[in-house]
Amino acid sequence: MTQSFQALVVDQTQDGEVQAQVRSLDAGSLPAGEVLIRVAYSSINYKDGLAARKDGNIVKAYPFVPGIDCSGTVVSSEDGRFSAGQAVLVTGYGFGVSQFGGFSEYARVPADWVVPLPGGLTLREAMIYGTAGFTAALSLYRLEQNGVAPDQGKVLVTGATGGVGGAAIALLNKQGYHVVASSGKADAHEYLKALGAAEVISREEVYDGAESIRPLGKQLWQAAVDPVGGKPLASLLSQIAYNGSVAVSGLTAGTKLPTTVLPFILRGVSLLGIDSVFCPYDTRVAIWKRLGSDWKPERLVEREIGLADLPAALEDILAARSQGRTIVRLAD
């Protein structure tokens, strides 16, 4: 590898603020790990926005390189499972959280974090899905394990214009589900229909903002993919049909869930927790294989940016100004 390379570095200024800048790093600044990767692409996820923010509660020590996923080519490996020239991807574990991440031309990681790039996916496509797409796919995997099937009713996707939401719409549509997308963006209907939503509704139709949320309402959805959490999740639980399931992955509307046991004990509703970070390795590899084959979504819209564009893009994702997936190109 070259002696120095470019990365987005988040650092603390003298007045205690946090600033993200493209900087040159040398090989010695990379963390320990068996596999050195020449990064081709990374992508922007909500957690990356938090990592670049002073009160984001992600970064433990500065300076830090965020980026919770990447795809690229192995430069060298001290682990026999990987060899130079092999195409790989990394999502989750401590990548871009406890150790330097993918907003960097080079990354060094433990071999246990590395997934071989599945057949049917290019390095670029792997990051169009990235952590968000993998999380959406894990949500579908868990819902189907729990008995959800295309012929049993409508599936609601909340946070629809976001990374997880958009990927979930495209994935579910490809599998033949009737997808209803819920979004706070009134001008996003055409975009969501192009992704695969059969119907688009406003956020308020899921949760109208009322302080007190009825635990049981009209049974509208057989299932939901929910990256939003908070009060909207409490409200959508009241709308899930008998024996239905909700896969919850996110907290963009908050962490508190003001519901009761009633949807669970009177309607048999299942609330399935989705964690892409420590998802077991075998499941992880199996889901990536499906993303390269029968689950490969046909219509995912992406925007490609370079390292220098990252600071603004990270602000956008926190302010919910992003739409769909943004990938970061790191190799020419």
Ligand X SMILES: NC(=O)c1ccc[n+]([C@@H]2O[C@H](COP(=O)([O-])OP(=O)(O)OC[C@H]3O[C@@H](n4cnc5c(N)ncnc54)[C@H](OP(=O)(O)O)[C@@H]3O)[C@@H](O)[C@H]2O)c1
Residues in contact with ligand X by the rule CB under 6 A: 45-47, 131-132, 135, 159-165, 183-185, 203, 227-228, 232, 249-253, 274-277, 317, 320, 322
Which residues are within 8 A (CB) of 266 and not within 5 positions of it... i.e. 6 or more apart?
A: 216
Q: How many other C-beta atoms can be found within 10 angstroms of the C-beta atom of residue 156?
A: 26
- Residue 34 or 226 having the CB closest to ligand X: 226
* 267 CB burial (10 A radius; 0-12, 13-18, 19+): middle
> Among candidates 233, 238, 237, which has minimal Cα distance to 250?
233
- Residue 99 or 249 having the CB closest to ligand X: 249
Query: In whole angstroms, how close is the CB of 88 to ligand X at the nearest point?
Result: 20
Asked if 18 and 49 touch (Cβ cutoff 8 Å), the reply is no
Query: In whole angstroms, how close is the CB of 158 to ligand X at the nearest point?
Result: 7
- Residue 121 or 274 having the CB closest to ligand X: 274
Query: In whole angstroms, how close is the CB of 232 to ligand X at the nearest point?
Result: 5
CA geometry: angle at 182 spanning 145 and 131, to 5°?
55
- Residue 20 or 68 having the CB closest to ligand X: 68
Query: In whole angstroms, how close is the CB of 86 to ligand X at the nearest point?
Result: 25
Query: In whole angstroms, how close is the CB of 311 to ligand X at the nearest point?
Result: 16
| Helix 123-145 / helix 281-291 crossing angle, nearest 10 deg | 110
- Residue 129 or 177 having the CB closest to ligand X: 129
d(CA 286, CA 150): 21
- Residue 25 or 224 having the CB closest to ligand X: 224
What is the DSSP track for 191-217?
HHHHHT-SEEEEHHHH----SS--SS-
- Residue 252 or 270 having the CB closest to ligand X: 252
The three-state secondary structure class of 228 is coil
Helical residues (DSSP H) of the chain, grouped into ranges: 46-51, 123-145, 163-174, 189-195, 203-206, 230-237, 262-267, 281-291, 310-318
Strand-pair category, 69-77 with 35-43: antiparallel
Query: In whole angstroms, how close is the CB of 253 to ligand X at the nearest point?
Result: 4
Query: In whole angstroms, how close is the CB of 71 to ligand X at the nearest point?
Result: 17
- Residue 96 or 244 having the CB closest to ligand X: 96
| Helix 163-174 / helix 123-145 crossing angle, nearest 10 deg | 70
Query: In whole angstroms, how close is the CB of 110 to ligand X at the nearest point?
Result: 19
> Among candidates 169, 133, 138, 142, which has minimal Cα distance to 154?
169
